[in-house]
């Protein structure tokens, strides 16, 4: 089994997404082939390979299509994939990929959107962040959300 794990940054920094991904890897019942995908340059943990993509839907779709994974897992934090918190490129790439390939897609939401004070600029991006989250949910075979 080949798993493609999309992460916001590599080399991984100690944070919720990285710690969660490592636990997922450690506790997986049968050791599949893990391919870590990120828009940042880096390397993964021992036993995994790394693939760098551009923050463009076409780049992500092309990489996944060439990889031909059995399953794709997206570890989602909106600000991890876009400075403005609206990573439309992820939704674009995964929508196109799912049309081409029968691979299963799981989206693990660590952060859906920003919910801060009304006067912050990030608060005004909330509707755009909602739209990306809805697209990812519609594309995914399964979604999980942490609290």
- pLDDT tens column, 52-103: 999 999 999 999 999 999 999 999 988 888 888 899 999 999 999 999 999 9
Helix, coil or strand: residue 56 = coil
Q: Give the pLDDT mean for 141-145.
A: 93
pLDDT tens sequence across 107-131: 999 877 776 676 776 666 778 888 9
């Amino acid at each position: 089994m080949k798993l493609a794990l999309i992460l916001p940054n590599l080399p991984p920094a100690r944070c919720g997404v990285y710690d969660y991904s490592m636990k997922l890897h450690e506790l997986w019942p049968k050791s599949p082939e893990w391919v870590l995908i990120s828009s940042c340059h880096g390397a993964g943990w021992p036993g995994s390979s790394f693939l760098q993509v551009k923050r463009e839907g076409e780049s992500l779709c092309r990489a996944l299509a060439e990889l031909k994974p059995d399953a794709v897992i997206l570890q989602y934090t909106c600000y991890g994939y876009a400075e403005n918190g609206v990573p439309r490129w992820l939704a674009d790439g995964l929508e196109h990929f799912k049309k081409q390939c029968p691979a299963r897609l799981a989206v693990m939401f660590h952060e859906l959107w920003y919910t801060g004070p009304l006067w912050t600029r990030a608060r005004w991006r909330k509707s755009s962040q909602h739209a990306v989250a809805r697209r990812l949910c519609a594309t995914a075979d399964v979604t999980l959300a942490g609290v």
